[in-house]
Amino acid sequence: MKWKPLILLISVMLVIALAISFFKIGSGTEMMPKPRGYFRIDLPRKAYTHYDSKCPLSFDIPNYATVEIYRDKSSEDSCWFNIAFPRLKATVYCTYLPVKGNLDQLIRDSYDFVAKHEMRASGFRREHISLPDKKVYGIFYNIQGDAASQVQFFLTDSTEHFFRGSLYFFNKPNPDSIAPVLDFLKKDILHITETLEWTD
């Protein structure tokens, strides 16, 4: 006698499940899996701090970035440092070099670094940077597709200073998944180029 209500409940649930199944089959609609999605990324609020580099240059960096200096690679004339975005799993690798009658070679080398990503890229766009009042000139490369580096740039005063940077993410470069972060960081990198000043 105790089992009758339980058996009745199970029977009703089976009838409802079968009715739903027949309804779906009869309506001709196909069950489709949901498309693959990506985790929502909480981007930090934009705020900048002026950074005086040990190299002869200064610029604004985002408050959510840190500068890592490589003393072992730095010499009296040149220096290497990173602008790291740990929360966004990205880093801008930076190099400062003095111009010693070799500006053409430095620009060629910078273009060669961009060209290495051309095979994986679906295209790239160049934006010329010209800030005559600060003697800052250069090119901002926007590399599209699943290249390892999506943003590269170089800046120079044409006579003494040369500065280049390249953005890398610490994960597989999937354009769909990193698109919001990439757009966010492009604005930060452009801000760095716009606020750069030579200090020597």
Instruction: State pLDDT tens for residues 117-135.
Output: 777 777 778 899 999 999 9
Confidence of residue 16 (pLDDT cuts 50, 70, 90): confident
> Can you give the CATH number for the domain in which 111 is found?
3.40.1000
Phi, psi of 138 (to 5 degrees): 175, -165
- pTM beyond 0.85: the answer is no
Gap between the Cα atoms of 188 and 200, Å rounded: 24
Domain that holds residue 105: 48-198
Encoding tokens for residue 106? 């430095």
Task: Answer yes or no: is pLDDT of 55 > 90.
Answer: no
Find the mean pLDDT for residues 43-57: 92
Q: How much is the mean pLDDT over the chain?
A: 83
The answer to whether residue 144 is domain-embedded is yes
Task: Answer yes or no: is pLDDT of 180 > 90.
Answer: no
The answer to whether residue 25 is domain-embedded is no
Gap between the Cα atoms of 91 and 66, Å rounded: 9
Residue 75 pLDDT: 60
The answer to whether residue 26 is domain-embedded is no
Instruction: Specify the number of domains making up the chain.
Output: 1
Residue 6 pLDDT: 63
Task: Answer yes or no: is pLDDT of 5 > 80.
Answer: no
Residue 45 pLDDT: 93
Residue 29 pLDDT: 57
More confident residue, 200 or 139: 139
The answer to whether residue 7 is domain-embedded is no
Gap between the Cα atoms of 83 and 99, Å rounded: 23
Given a contact cutoff of 8 angstroms between Cβ atoms, the answer to whether 124 and 114 are in contact is: yes
Q: Is 34 helix (H, G, I), strand (E, B) or coil?
A: coil
The answer to whether residue 90 is domain-embedded is yes
Longest dimension (CA), the chain: 100
The answer to whether residue 99 is domain-embedded is yes
Exposed, middle or buried by CB within 10 Å (0-12, 13-18, 19+), for 101?
exposed
The answer to whether residue 6 is domain-embedded is no
- In SS3 terms, 38-89 reads as CCCCCCCCCCEEEEECCCCEEEEEECCCEEEEECCCCCCCCEEEEEEEHHHC
Residue indicated by tokens 């309506």: 27
The answer to whether residue 30 is domain-embedded is no
Q: Is 164 helix (H, G, I), strand (E, B) or coil?
A: strand
Residues in the chain, total: 200
Q: What is the CB-side half-sphere exposure of residue 101 using CA atoms within 13 A?
A: 0
